Amino acid sequence: MTERVVLAYSGGLDTSVAIGWIAEATGAEVVAVAVDVGQGGEDLEVVRQRALACGAVEAYVADAREEFASEYCFPALKANALYMDRYPLVSALSRPVIVKHLVRAARQFGATTVSHGCTGKGNDQVRFEVATTSLAPELKTIAPVRDLALTREKAIAYAEKNDLPIATTKKNPFSIDQNVWGRAVETGFLEDIWNGPTKDVYNYTDDPTFPPVEDEVTIRFERGIPVAIDGVEVTPLQAIQEMNRRAGAQGIGRIDIVEDRLVGIKSREIYEAPGAIALIAAHAELENVTIEREQARFKRTVDQRWTELVYDGMWFSPLKKSLDTFIEDTQRYVTGEIRMTLHGGRATVTGRRSDSALYDFNLATYDEGDSFDQSQAKGFIEIFGLSAKLAAARDEKFGNGVDFGVGSL
């Protein structure tokens, strides 16, 4: 029986050529797998027919937008996931859901190998292959660009020679990956990190320099998940799409970063993630209101480690699953509403309310009605600072006290 390869198929030139390229190089039949995670573009049926016309023996297509939003983007939201404190894991989040469908298709069509279009110097090759071995250790992996010498020039020549139904126009100056959570842009003149991004880099966001009038939005969360916007109930996908629209119109979520890649190099990346950035800001502020102090401090450490694991392609790892459990437990009381003003590139929280809030007005106020017993503060400070006081006395005894310098007192 002829071996089969399942190929992560985008419908573009490179993966369309990869169908025949893989078949010729390996002798295997190719099954194209197209997964819609909100990247826009063509209808899935059009993509399916193109894959078959380019030589695929089968074509598996899946509308995974709701799945991606609820099972991948929203766990990242609960973790306030921002790699290097800025990047909301746009591409990293989509890879495990695509792999999940690749493995499903491999089992459905009897394939022994998974294939992706990644190069040998990026993060995505790791994400695809580690996720594949985590879900299906028996499957092999090949990458046409990395392993079978498929370059852009060879792809254009192959498509023209074989009359494939795909455009062979000059390459876009940028490499772009996008989904409902955001958009990633790299290469071209952006590789010179002194060059500023031009207007044509952006698509999800309008120029924040000339914003429309400010937009006030109220987001209701239940257990860390946005469930309504301005009183209108929304699904996970609708919540992201609506915030993409409204925050994007204000130029929110533009990120220009020199990023530490997993493979050890630094890479200049431009991201647009208006909905993600606005939702994370709202969620983080609701956590400030509802999560106990020590739990919140530790969660910030967990959030960072969770984010690094997902960035590094370890979505299905044991540690990530364990951290999921902790993060989910912290969301028990993250229920309430956040009011935000969206304007000129910024999402600013202006109001918070929650029945499960730990904020107590009577304890916080300095005005009439103050219920905080200030007389207890002096004894608290004495006990809190006792260990430091004893250590300081010992240092003085052995001549290791603080040197204030000549004339400092």
Of the candidates 95, 183, 220, 246, the residue annotated as catalytic is 95
Domain end among 160, 175, 190: 175
User: Mean pLDDT over residues 385-398, rounded?
Assistant: 95
- Whether residue 194 sits in one domain with residue 142: no
Report the number of distinct structural domains present in the chain. Answer: 2
Band of the pLDDT at 171, cuts 50, 70, 90? Answer: low
Residue 169 has pLDDT above 80, yes or no: no
Q: Helix (H) and strand (E) counts for the chain?
A: 15, 14
User: Mean pLDDT over residues 390-409, rounded?
Assistant: 84
Residue 315 has pLDDT above 60, yes or no: yes
Phi/psi at 17 (5° precision) = -70, -35
Residue 92 belongs to a domain with what CATH number? 3.40.50.620
User: Mean pLDDT over residues 149-176, rounded?
Assistant: 84
Range with the lowest mean pLDDT among 20-29, 163-172, 229-238? Answer: 163-172
User: Is 293 annotated among the ligand-binding residues?
Assistant: no
Residue 364 has pLDDT above 90, yes or no: no
Residue 168 has pLDDT above 80, yes or no: no
Q: Which pLDDT score is estimated for 356? A: 97
Domain end among 113, 141, 175: 175
Residue 393 domain-assigned (yes or no): no
Q: Which pLDDT score is estimated for 219? A: 98
Residue 187 has pLDDT above 90, yes or no: no
Band of the pLDDT at 372, cuts 50, 70, 90? Answer: confident
pTM above 0.85, yes or no: yes
- Whether residue 244 sits in one domain with residue 115: no
User: Is 10 annotated among the ligand-binding residues?
Assistant: yes
User: Is 115 annotated among the ligand-binding residues?
Assistant: no
- Whether residue 323 sits in one domain with residue 191: yes
324 is catalytic: no
Residue 378 domain-assigned (yes or no): no
User: Is 119 annotated among the ligand-binding residues?
Assistant: yes
- Residue 212's domain spans which residues? 176-353
Of the candidates 175, 223, 352, 356, the residue annotated as catalytic is 175
User: Mean pLDDT over residues 181-202, rounded?
Assistant: 95
User: Is 12 annotated among the ligand-binding residues?
Assistant: yes
Domain end among 353, 371, 386: 353
Range with the lowest mean pLDDT among 230-234, 295-299, 400-404? Answer: 400-404
Residue 260 domain-assigned (yes or no): yes
- Whether residue 181 sits in one domain with residue 166: no
Residue 93 domain-assigned (yes or no): yes
Of the candidates 36, 124, 303, 312, the residue annotated as catalytic is 124
95 is catalytic: yes
d(CA 253, CA 133): 34
Q: Which pLDDT score is estimated for 151? A: 87
User: Is 341 annotated among the ligand-binding residues?
Assistant: no
Q: Which pLDDT score is estimated for 407? A: 59
DSSP track, 323-381: HHHHHHHHGGG--EEEEEEEETTEEEEEEEE-TT----HHHH-SSTT----GGGHHHHH
Provide the CA 325 distance to its chain's centre, in angstroms. 19
Does residue 183 sit in helix, strand or coil?
A: strand
User: Mean pLDDT over residues 137-162, rounded?
Assistant: 91
Average pLDDT, the chain: 94
Residue 211 belongs to a domain with what CATH number? 3.90.1260.10
Band of the pLDDT at 204, cuts 50, 70, 90? Answer: very high
Band of the pLDDT at 167, cuts 50, 70, 90? Answer: confident
Q: Give the residue, 319 or 405, on which the prediction is more confident.
A: 319
85 is catalytic: no
- Whether residue 197 sits in one domain with residue 320: yes
Candidates 190, 126, 183, 175; CA nearest to 14 is 175
356 is catalytic: no
- Whether residue 151 sits in one domain with residue 113: yes
Candidates 293, 291, 376, 273; CA nearest to 328 is 291
Residue 172 has pLDDT above 90, yes or no: no
- Whether residue 273 sits in one domain with residue 192: yes
Band of the pLDDT at 155, cuts 50, 70, 90? Answer: confident
Candidates 34, 78, 38, 32; CA nearest to 57 is 32
Residue 170 has pLDDT above 90, yes or no: no
Residue 409 has pLDDT above 60, yes or no: no
